[in-house]
Amino acid sequence: MDHRKSIAEFKRAQNYLVGGVNSPVRAFKGVKGNPLVVDYGKGKKIFDIDGNGFTDYCLSWGALILGHAHPEVMKAIKKGLKHAVSFGTTTKPEIEIAEFIVKHVPSVEQVRFVNSGTEATMSAIRLSRGVTKRNIVIKFDGCYHGHADDLLAVAGSGVANLPASSSQGVPPEHLKNTLSLPFNDTKRCLEVFERLGKNIAGVIVEPVAGNMGVVVPEKGFLKMLRDVTVKSLSIFIFDEVMTGFRTHLGCVQSEFDIWPDITCFGKIIGGGFPVGAYGGRKDIMNHLAPNGGVYQAGTFSGNPIVMRAGLATLKSLHKKLFDNLGEMTDDFVDQVNDAFRAKNLNIHAVNYKSMVSLRFREKKVVNYLDAQNAGSTEVYSRLFHFLLAKGIYLPPADLESFFLSSRHTTKDLNYLGKCLTEFNDAY
Ligand SMILES: Cc1ncc(COP(=O)(O)O)c(C=O)c1O
């Protein structure tokens, strides 16, 4: 496969963009080698500037549930362009998409749109603090909520359990009100609430984690969080930036029948454009300016082109599509796991509906420590490049989840499964 044009462009990019990219993981540090410079996408495929085509399982990090350039989404964008692109005022598309979300996600009565998932979670945290007049926020190790200062915490060591930042440049004071606990550890959460409950503003969680590979919560974990937050009058925040509208029109919360106070959205609701949103009960959302004292604003928030693309995407989703994607992925995971077992390979695939990841050990992963132990940059790098040469594009890092779109078929998955099992010598 010829990559000469991508190599030359990436070299040029490195002169003008930091590390040649606008988001670190794109630099392929997790898999080594030269990033593809992509020219265009169509359906399930992306094409690089050398003319190579790849079946895309990254899908703009899960945003493109309908694949690339879906006709309905493209039509909505073109229609929107006729009205010009940005006004900084209220427009009909933002009302329509908010109405759609409120109608389908029972815990959400009102929505505020922002421009990224990071902004959504950052603002939801501010809102939780404004509503409760408390400061402490609980998050979970391995859950990613974007790059706001006080959410870039990793669990600290030792009895003091002070969180450290996963980034330089974050003053320790910004983290003194963030506690990062192990995912799925009910006992630990209850202990912390017992001790600090009265000071806890909110708990934020990926209800199905996707940023340490896919980790489905153990039975009762989310319910425990819901109960304990009700008891301590803290705000419960679901970060559905990745899971929102990926598996159900009511989002993951409807599947688990657990209702958060605030939900964060992103990715799919923008139809491939930059977007974020957060929403919840009216009594909580009313604390936001202009109605209340919690300030949050944005020049481009609710941009009409983005809203049109998002609404066209959401309107194209339906139960049959979700069921089909879920069933296809379940079958794929069962088949590759049977093949891995038959070959005695120390690897397994895991999925939640159309979110998938690979674990380089047999034991189930329930938290971030397990996920780290089941990761392997070394094996994943070789696998990634092996698949690339076969025309398959997975996310370029081992702890990222990969995704299916409505354009992927059983044939695509059979081919991916065949390639994954063919690679057996290296696991
Ligand atoms: C669960 C979750 N929350 C928040 C974010 C941050 O979103 P963005 O990259 O749009 O800022 C991400 C991004 O991947 C995410 O997966």
Residue 135 is classified by DSSP as -
Looking up tokens 């698949």 gives 387
DSSP-derived 3-state class of residue 239: strand
Looking up tokens 């990254």 gives 58
Task: Say if residue 82 is in the same domain as residue 48.
Answer: no
- Specify whether the CB–CB gap between 356 and 214 falls below 8 A: yes
Cβ-proximal residues to 110 (8 Å cutoff; 6+ apart), any chain:
98, 102, 279, 280, 281, 282, 285, 286
Nearest CA to ligand 1 atom 13: 146
Instruction: Give domain status of residue 340, yes or no.
Output: no
Longest CA–CA span in the chain (Å) reads 61
Q: At residue 404, does pLDDT exceed 90?
A: yes
Task: Say if residue 291 is in the same domain as residue 351.
Answer: no
Task: Say if residue 167 is in the same domain as residue 291.
Answer: yes
Please tell me the distance between residue 210's alpha carbon and the centre of ligand 1 in angstroms: 10
CATH of the domain at 400: 3.90.1150.10
Please tell me the distance between residue 126's alpha carbon and the centre of ligand 1 in angstroms: 17
Task: Say if residue 222 is in the same domain as residue 275.
Answer: yes
Enumerate the active-site residues: 144, 239, 267
Beta carbons within 10 angstroms of residue 163's beta carbon: 21
Q: Tell which one of 267, 273, 355 to mutate to probe ligand 1, the residue whose CB is within 8 A of the most ligand atoms.
A: 267
Nearest CA to ligand 1 atom 9: 117
Range of the domain at 34: 1-56+319-335+346-357+394-421
CA-based radius of gyration for the chain: 21
Instruction: Give domain status of residue 381, yes or no.
Output: no
Instruction: Check residue 156 and give its pLDDT.
Output: 60
Instruction: Check residue 162 and give its pLDDT.
Output: 65
Instruction: Give domain status of residue 386, yes or no.
Output: no
Instruction: Give domain status of residue 330, yes or no.
Output: yes
Task: Say if residue 14 is in the same domain as residue 127.
Answer: no
Instruction: Give domain status of residue 324, yes or no.
Output: yes
**Per-residue model confidence as pLDDT tens digits over 346-393:** 899 999 999 999 999 989 999 999 999 999 999 999 999 999 999 999
Instruction: Give domain status of residue 387, yes or no.
Output: no
163 pLDDT band (50/70/90 cuts)? confident
Task: Say if residue 307 is in the same domain as residue 159.
Answer: yes
Cβ-count burial of 4 within 10 angstroms (0-12 exposed, 13-18 middle, 19+ buried)? exposed
Instruction: Give domain status of residue 8, yes or no.
Output: yes
Question: Rounded to an integer, what distance in angstroms lies between the CA atom of residue 369 and that of residue 375?
Answer: 10
**Per-residue model confidence as pLDDT tens digits over 174-216:** 899 999 999 999 999 999 999 999 999 999 999 999 999 999 9
Task: Say if residue 119 is in the same domain as residue 147.
Answer: yes
Nearest CA to ligand 1 atom 7: 117
CATH of the domain at 221: 3.40.640.10
**Per-residue model confidence as pLDDT tens digits over 58-90:** 999 999 999 999 999 999 999 999 999 999 999
**Per-residue model confidence as pLDDT tens digits over 254-298:** 999 999 999 999 999 999 999 999 999 999 999 999 999 999 999
Closest ligand 1 atom to the C-alpha of 117?
7
Task: Say if residue 300 is in the same domain as residue 221.
Answer: yes
In terms of DSSP bridges, do strands 53-56 and 45-48 run parallel, antiparallel, or are they unpaired? antiparallel
Please tell me the pTM assigned to this model: 0.97
Task: Say if residue 155 is in the same domain as residue 22.
Answer: no
Spatial strand order in the sheet of 110-114: 110-114, 276-280, 262-266, 235-239, 200-205, 136-140, 178-181
As for ligand 1, residues whose beta carbon falls within 6 Å of it are 61, 116-118, 121, 144-146, 206, 211, 239, 241-242, 266, 276
Please tell me the distance between residue 304's alpha carbon and the centre of ligand 1 in angstroms: 21
How many domains in the chain? 2
Task: Say if residue 86 is in the same domain as residue 223.
Answer: yes
Task: Say if residue 105 is in the same domain as residue 189.
Answer: yes
Cβ-proximal residues to 200 (8 Å cutoff; 6+ apart), any chain:
134, 136, 137, 138, 192, 193, 229, 232, 234
Angle value at C-alpha 110, between 108 and 114, nearest 5 degrees? 105
CA distances from 135 to 47, 161, 405 (A): 47, 17, 39
Instruction: Give domain status of residue 266, yes or no.
Output: yes
Task: Say if residue 46 is in the same domain as residue 129.
Answer: no
The values of phi and psi at residue 399, to 5°, are -95, 10
Cβ-proximal residues to 106 (8 Å cutoff; 6+ apart), any chain:
250, 254, 259
Please tell me the distance between residue 118's alpha carbon and the centre of ligand 1 in angstroms: 6
Question: Rounded to an integer, what distance in angstroms lies between the CA atom of residue 85 and that of residue 63?
Answer: 21
